[in-house]
Amino acid sequence: MSEAPSRRQSLITFLLLLPGLAGFFGLFFYPMLVTLARSFRPEGEAQGWTLENYAVLVRNSDFPRVILLTFFLAISSTVLSIALSVPLALLLRHKPTGHRLLRISMLIPITVPGLIGALGLLLFWGSRGWFNLALMPLLDLKNPIQVNYTLPGLIIFYVWHYFSYTATTTLSTLEGLDPAFEEAATVAGAAPGQVLRHVVIPLIMPGILAGSVLSFMAAFGAFSIPLVTGGSLRPLAVSIYKQIEVFTPARWSAASAMAAVMATLQVIFLAIYMRVLRRPSI
């Protein structure tokens, strides 16, 4: 008698999950399967199997540089995002004057579309932008500082666009921290710096790691920011787009092979990240 309600409950649960599963399969899993299958097709052919698309990537001397550039942009922007997020979260935790405005400003990069944000950054950091208009008279510079279409400039744009992920998760974790831990450490004679280093930072590390992986994954797959502001710097996502948009006819198989490599690198990173998280803390 008890099995019938259990089966009915399982059926209801399955029916509730079915739209989400269908959406996941149709919008994510199936396109990935098609892309993977296309990467093994001869260029311009609908049938047959080949490894030539991957062999071309191996022989291409520019492809390792593209991967290194993609990793460098993602890692450097993630590290800088962490370096900015932790002090900002510590400041906002105490709710200083204007903290609501800072919190709203922190979320702006997430809400602004990437293309609009990229165009705005080009205008702000350009030779006639506010940055140079304010800095040139102040430092008595004859020529504007070149930020747009440079590697340091692209890192700045990445940090601005993906900083919010790390900042929001770090702040939410910090605000959920029980003050009793810090009070106990202070009563035990720990200095404020020791409390921060040995108590606060380890306890908010899950939030920092969660935000950093979101920031890294978003930066690794960045498209609109480097497409508009990168100039000759073309990370992996833009290189994939180039195979389709620049060449005639479009190199769909080559683009699919590059996309498969990109997805594999992201999965490897996630596996390493999850392995690090499972390590027992000392």
pLDDT in tens, 155-186: 999 999 999 999 999 999 998 888 888 888 88
Residue 281, pLDDT above cutoff 60:
no
Tokens 């990793």 belong to which residue? 71
Amino acid code (one letter) for 15: L
pLDDT tier for residue 95 given thresholds of 50, 70 and 90: confident
Query: Percentage of residues in the chain with pLDDT exceeding 90?
Result: 33
Look at 192 and 169; give whichever has higher pLDDT: 169
Look at 82 and 278; give whichever has higher pLDDT: 82
Span 135-148, average pLDDT: 87
> Which pLDDT does position 271 carry in this prediction?
83
Burial (0-12, 13-18, 19+ Cβ within 10 Å), 7:
exposed
> Which pLDDT does position 279 carry in this prediction?
60
Distance between CA atoms of residues 240 and 234, nearest Å: 10
Span 125-141, average pLDDT: 87
Look at 276 and 41; give whichever has higher pLDDT: 41
> Which pLDDT does position 1 carry in this prediction?
47
Span 94-118, average pLDDT: 86
Q: Which long-range contacts (CB under 8 A, 24 or more apart) does 147-151 make?
A: 148/122, 148/229, 148/231, 149/229, 149/230, 149/231, 149/232, 149/233, 150/231, 151/233
> Which pLDDT does position 3 carry in this prediction?
62
> Which pLDDT does position 5 carry in this prediction?
67
Q: Which long-range contacts (CB under 8 A, 24 or more apart) does 198-203 make?
A: 200/90, 200/174, 201/86, 202/281, 203/173, 203/177
Span 222-239, average pLDDT: 91
Span 234-261, average pLDDT: 89
> Which pLDDT does position 82 carry in this prediction?
93
Mean pLDDT across the chain: 87
> Which pLDDT does position 2 carry in this prediction?
54
Look at 9 and 220; give whichever has higher pLDDT: 220
In the chain, what are the domains?
61-277 (1.10.3720.10)
Span 102-109, average pLDDT: 88
